[in-house]
Amino acid sequence: MSDKTDCLGLLLRGMAMGAADVVPGVSGGTIAFITGIYDRLLNSLRSFSPTLLLLLKNEGIKACWKKVDGTFLVCVFSGILISILSFAHLISYLLAEYPVLIWSFFFGLILVSGLHMVRQIEHYSIGGGVLFVLAAVGAYLIGTLTPASLTPTPVMLFFAGSIAICAMILPGISGSFLLLLMGLYATVLQAVKTFDLFVLAIFASGCVVGLLSFSHVLSWLLRKHRDLALSLLTGLMMGALGKVWPWKQTLETRINSSGEVVPFLEVNVSPLNYESLTGTPAFLMPGLLLMAAAIIMFLMIEWLGHRK
C-alpha cells in the first residue's frame, strides 16, 4: 500500500472519529477500535514525554517525528478536525430531524463492535467478568444522569476539555455526552459553528493536556493487563447502549444557545409503544434495517481487514 493511500485511509478513519465525537452518546474511541488504529493511536500519544526533548537535542526533528509516529497523528487528527468543523451542522440537523434512524445505526455499530472486542480477549477470568459488569453498569448510570448547567468560564472550559478528551478515547464513553452533562455541550458546539477562536483555544488546550496525560495510563493498562483492560472497555461500550437506544420519550426540554427547544431529560421506551407515547412514527422497520446495515458494514470491514 502506498504512503498516499495509507494516509487517505487514516484521514477517513479520523473523519469517522470526528463525526462520532460530535454526537452525544457515541465515542470516537469506539470508531478507532473498530477501524483497527486504537493501539497505534495510544502508543503514538504515549510517545510524548520529557524524554522526547532529550531525543530532539541528540538526534534532531526527524528522529522525534519517527518516535511519535508523526505522519500517522497528522493524518488522523486532520481527519478529526475536518469532520468536526464540517459535520457539526449536518449531524445536528440529522439528530434533530431523524433521531430514530440515526441512533438505530449507531446502536447497531456499537453492539457489533462490543462483540468484536469480546473476541479480542485471550484469557477470560472472574476479575475480567467483574470489571465488565462494573463498567457496563457505570456507563449505563452515567447515561441516565440529568445534565447540569455550569458557567462557561475559561477555567471551566479548560477542565471540561481535559475530561471530555479522556472520554473521547475510551470506547463506550462519549466526551460529547460528558460535555452535555456539564451543560457545556451547546457552548462548545456553538463555538465550532461560529469559529469562536477564544473558546476553542481554551477548550483545545485542555484537550491536549488531558489527551497526553491519560493516554499514558490507558496505554500501560493495554500493555500490562490487556485482557482486563479489554474487559473494562467492552463493559463501557455495552453500557453505553442504553444511551444510544433509538426510541426515547422526552420528559423535559430546555432552550439551547440558539434559542431552540431541545430534549433535556429522556427515558428509553419500547418501539411498540413509542408512537402512542410521543405521537411520532416509530420507524421500527427502517430502524432495524439500519441496525442491520451497521452490523453488516462492520463485519465487511473486519473481513477485509483479515484478508489484508
**110-136: pLDDT as tens digits:** 788 778 778 878 888 898 899 999 988
> Which range, 76-90, 144-158, 198-212, 256-270, is most confident?
198-212
Q: Which helix (H) or strand (E) holds 192?
A: helix 185-194
For 203, the grid coordinates are: 477548550
How many degrees, rounded to 5, is the angle at CA 13 between CA 66 and CA 217?
60
Q: What phi, psi does 15 have (nearest 5°)?
A: -65, -40
For 188, the grid coordinates are: 462548545
Q: Give rounded-to-5 percent helix, strand, coil for the chain.
A: 75, 5, 20
Work out the average pLDDT over 160-178. Answer: 75
For the chain, counts of helices (H) and of strands (E):
15, 2
**C-beta of residue 75 within 8 angstroms of C-beta of residue 14:** yes
Distance CA 18, CA 20 (A): 5
Q: Evaluate if residue 257 carries a pLDDT over 60.
A: no
| pLDDT for the residue 290 | 92
257: Cβ contacts below 8 Å, ≥ 6 apart: 186, 187, 190
Distance CA 304, CA 160 (A): 38
Q: Which helix (H) or strand (E) holds 264?
A: strand 261-268
pLDDT band at 233 (very low <50, low <70, confident <90, very high): confident
Work out the average pLDDT over 66-72. Answer: 88
Residue-averaged pLDDT of the chain: 80
| pLDDT for the residue 301 | 66
| pLDDT for the residue 130 | 93
pLDDT band at 74 (very low <50, low <70, confident <90, very high): very high
